[in-house]
Amino acid sequence: MTYLHQAADGTFTYNLSGHQTFRLPAAPPEVATSTAAEWLDGAAKLLVDMIDTTSSTKSNVDLSDVGREKQLEPKRGKFVEDIAARWRAIEVREENVSISEATYLAPPKLESSNFAGAVEDREIRDWWRSQSVEARAKAMADIQTDVSGNERLMVALMRSPIRLHDSEAKFMKETWAAAVRQRNADVFAAFDAARESFEWARRGLANIVGISGATLGKSWDRERVVRQLLSSENVYAPSGYGAWGITAPEVARIKVRIEHEKSRAAGFQGTV
């Protein structure tokens, strides 16, 4: 049985049915019992099943070595796909959180039909550019003490098609973001908790991938994993190669190799 145990110091230990254990740092309930954590728990159970299946199959005296491998290989491939799919599902969730957060943090858009707003934006930006460095510094100090009273100024400057000086752009972006976060504290607390849960689950999945190496065997190297994922019918699996620390350039090169192999095979068939 796979179970998650929390120690007195808050850290967590996954006990993989007595096979092996791995530890995760302390985490609050909204992280340790999140959806991502449930995906991690499912992955741990898959690993235990894979270890047990491998052990029982290899001890089956009615099968030859070839027969044992023939039974195990499809299950190994399925395991690799399932772990990759969980890794990618976490990435997708994280991307969605980033999109939602960016939507909150973006300054209000100016509708193309809002001619008066466009004129006002330009007047504000012209005024800002006419100010001395000292006057701008004072204005930024005023903004910092009263963001809500200077929002119109900030929005016009952040919507400028001409980039502000780096220090001014950084100040406006960070001050605006801090104000938005404060106004929407509940929303951003949920974003932060989600991100923490994603990272926590990824650490667990990385441990599972590391432990699974001995069960999968040496033939399941990085290229073998990529080839399995690229052939998967699971929509998430082909993009879940990050679970093995595999990079996009590596995958791209293997794709080239696969296409090269297909072209050569087609060419040879045509000349026979």
For 36-55, give the DSSP string: HHHHHHHHHHHHHHHHHHHH
> Do 168 and 111 share a domain, yes or no?
yes
> Do 162 and 209 share a domain, yes or no?
no
> Do 99 and 207 share a domain, yes or no?
yes
> Do 224 and 244 share a domain, yes or no?
yes
List the domain range (segments joined by +) for residue 138.
105-185
For residue 14, list its beta bridge partners.
4, 22
The last residue of one of the domains, among 160, 185, 210, is 185
> Do 265 and 134 share a domain, yes or no?
no
pLDDT above 70: residue 234:
yes
Percent pLDDT > 70 in the chain is 96
Q: Note the pLDDT of residue 19.
A: 65
> What is the average pLDDT value for the chain, to the nearest integer?
92
pLDDT above 90: residue 18:
no
| CA pseudo-torsion sign 243, 245, 246, 247 | positive
- 43-85: per-residue pLDDT in tens? 999 999 999 999 999 999 899 999 999 999 999 999 999 999 9
> Do 255 and 190 share a domain, yes or no?
yes
> Do 165 and 266 share a domain, yes or no?
no
pLDDT above 60: residue 2:
no
The last residue of one of the domains, among 185, 207, 230, is 185
- 154-184: per-residue pLDDT in tens? 999 999 998 889 999 999 999 999 999 999 9
- Phi first, then psi, for residue 203 (nearest 5°) are -60, -40
Q: Note the pLDDT of residue 6.
A: 84
Mean pLDDT of 117-142: 95
Number of residues that this document lists for the chain: 272
Cα 83-84-87 angle, rounded to 5 deg:
90
The last residue of one of the domains, among 135, 155, 185, is 185
**100 close to 191: Cβ distance less than 8 angstroms:** yes
How many domains does the structure of the chain reveal? 2
Mean pLDDT of 198-222: 95
Q: What gap in Å lies between CA 228 and CA 197, rounded to an integer?
A: 28
> Do 21 and 64 share a domain, yes or no?
yes
> Do 98 and 214 share a domain, yes or no?
yes
Q: What gap in Å lies between CA 170 and CA 176, rounded to an integer?
A: 10
* Burial category of 105 from C-beta neighbours within 10 Å (exposed 0-12, middle 13-18, buried 19 and up): middle
Q: Note the pLDDT of residue 239.
A: 97
Cα 262-263-266 angle, rounded to 5 deg:
85
> Do 110 and 99 share a domain, yes or no?
no
> Do 214 and 123 share a domain, yes or no?
no
> Do 223 and 177 share a domain, yes or no?
no
